[in-house]
Each structure stands twice: as structure tokens, then as C-alpha cells.
Amino acid sequence: MDYLADRTKLIDASGIRKVFALAAKLEDPVNFSIGQPDFDVPEAIKEAAIDAIRKGFNKYSQTAGQEAVVARLKAKTAADYGWDDPPLMVTDGVSGALLLAFMALINPGDEVIISDPYFVIYKHVINMLGGKCVYVDTYPDFRLPADKVEAAITKKTKLIVLNSPANPTGIVYTEDEIKAITDVARKHDIIVMSDEIYEEFSYDGKAVNVGNYYDKTLVLKGFSKSYAMTGWRLGYATASVKLAPLLEKMLMIQQYTFVCAPTPFQMAILSALDEDMSSYVDNYRLKRDRMLEGLGESYEITKPGGAFYMFVKAPDKYPNATEFVKKAIENNVLVIPGNVFSEQDTHFRISYVATEEKLEKGIDILCKLAKE
């Protein structure tokens, strides 16, 4: 295996995908493993994609995206942030945007501040590029204090990554928290990357848009979760004109990698932006509340304010969360061990994107495991 690049040794197969693959081998499991909405793309958006295909939108788009789509998203961004003519590009999901941004920003030895727990892609892509993750421990409540962020800053700090609502914890940062963190970033002149893929899933008030508080914020947004189009691979990256050189380099890298996001699906964004998804979000709020009610007496849970995850402490009788997850899977419940998202192995992630029947079944099994 000497022919493999050294960077391949820095990553392992996704722990989420490993558990997801188990679902195919189990008979009718309760699948709390992957963050994929259990509703389907609304019919009007499907029809828009089909119509685009029939009208011939099947070739490459411009690297930044279809002109009409980019114009619509720029207008939305300008209205949301007050930015004048913000640079913007359509990407192959937020994951694609993350890769482009990290490639455009990180030199070997550069440090990137991320909260622990974190979304899995951050750690592995940063490591592959020769960067160093600097983890800010947020246990047990998963808040991110600005003083801890500032204490993590060194001369090598290149970037602070924020994710709110967060995967895997479901935490939504408050306005005061965001202001304090962006004040630190401004003081030290550090770019903030704000991963806002779950912004629509904020259950106790609108999620705070980081870019409203700091004009050196790279904002990453997407359509996969809010419209259940995870397989369509659509997201976008934007910023104020202060970060225009960064967007320009991300665009250049996209030319030689992804080329462009899928063209007919891009055209469907125009329909998606007119679709009211609030009823779907309301349904996930009810799912969250039911999971908290059902598991709250048996497990230590920090109430998630958004996304569709909860990061749950494993029962103390298990040596670590991984051992508990093995037991849960033996009992036909698929959850993800916390060490996939963390430098610790004390918690496990539940993704409550399931039917009410599956939620009840999962609650019953998990409560029995806690009491055994």
C-alpha cells in the first residue's frame, strides 16, 4: 500500500456511513443514524427539476451557477445581511463548499478553531490539508464561550468555524454568544466560517446569522436538509466584498474539481425558495419534544434548540459510548458513537428523522437498555 498518498492515512471511513451500512443488514431497524429527512422533496420542487430537464438545462452551468439562480440568491443575501453585491457561488452541497473553502484557506501548519463536538468533515479535511484542529471543549452543555475561543488563538490561527444549529448537538448559539465570538474574531482579524446548513431547523426562535455581526464571515448555506434533497447536492457560499478574493479562489478550485453544481437541480432552487417549509419544521419540533419527553428520565440530555439531532450521554455502566452503541445495535437501534464527532467517547448521537412509530419503538428500546 506504499503507493497511497500519506494524507489517506489521516482519515478513516465515516463512522456514520459504517452504521448506515448496517441498516441494510438488519431487519426493520430503528434507524437513528443518518441525518437525512424522512419527508420527500415537495412536489412543486420535483416538477421544477423535471421541467428544467425537459427544457434542456442538462449541460454545464457557469462555474458559479446558473445566472438566474445566482442573481436570486445574491438578492436574498443582500437583503438578509445588508451586503452590497455580495460575491456568491452555487456549490455541490455545503460539504463541497467546505472543501473548497478549506482548500483555499489552509496552508500546512495553519490552525483552525472548532468546537468539540464537531461535524465530522471539519477534522478530516483540515488534517488532510496539513492543518491543525484546535478543539474548544464545550462539554457538558455544548455552548461555545468567547473566552475559550480567544484562549485557543495563536499566531498560527487561520480560521474559526461555527456551526449553528449544530450537528451533532443540536445547539443553537444565542445572539450574545455570536456577538462575543465575532468580537474576538474582529479583534484578532480572523475569518469566521459559518456553516448554516440547518438554519431553517431552529425551534425556539430564528437562528442568528453570523454574517450580520462580522463582515469577514464566510457563510455556507444549503438546500439538502430543509428541502429533503440530500441527493441533489446543492448549497452556496457567500460573503461580503471584503472576502471577494476568497470566493474568487474557491471558484477557481471548483473549475478544476466539481466544475459546477447539477444544472437542472439548480433551476429547481427558484421554485424551492418560494416553498413554505414551516410545517415540516414544526413537525420536527414535535419529534424533538417527544424524544426529550421519552428519554429524559433515563438519559442525560442537553436540550437541542435546532437541527434534528441530540447528543446523549451514554449510561455510566458502560465503559464508553462505543460499547453502548454496540449494545443498542444488537437491539436493532442504530445510533452513532460520539467519538465520530468528538475527541471524547462519552455520548452518542440520535438523529430523530423517523416516523412516529419508529420514534416510539426507539424510545422504548433505549429506555430498557438504560434500566437493564
Q: What is the CATH number of the domain that holds 125?
A: 3.40.640.10
Q: Which of 272, 297, 315 is the last residue of a domain?
A: 272
> What is the predicted pLDDT for the residue at 265?
98
* Statement to judge: residues 218 and 131 lie in one domain: yes
* Domain-embedded: residue 83: yes
Q: What cell does 85 get?
A: 453585491
> What is the predicted pLDDT for the residue at 245?
98
Q: Of 251, 280, 369, whose CA–CA distance to 316 is shortest?
A: 369
* Domain-embedded: residue 97: yes
Please state the domain count of the chain.
2
> What is the predicted pLDDT for the residue at 310?
98
**Could you say which residues of the chain have pLDDT below 50?**
none
* Statement to judge: residues 298 and 189 lie in one domain: no
* Statement to judge: residues 205 and 318 lie in one domain: no
pTM across the whole model:
0.94
> What is the predicted pLDDT for the residue at 8?
85
> What is the predicted pLDDT for the residue at 14?
58
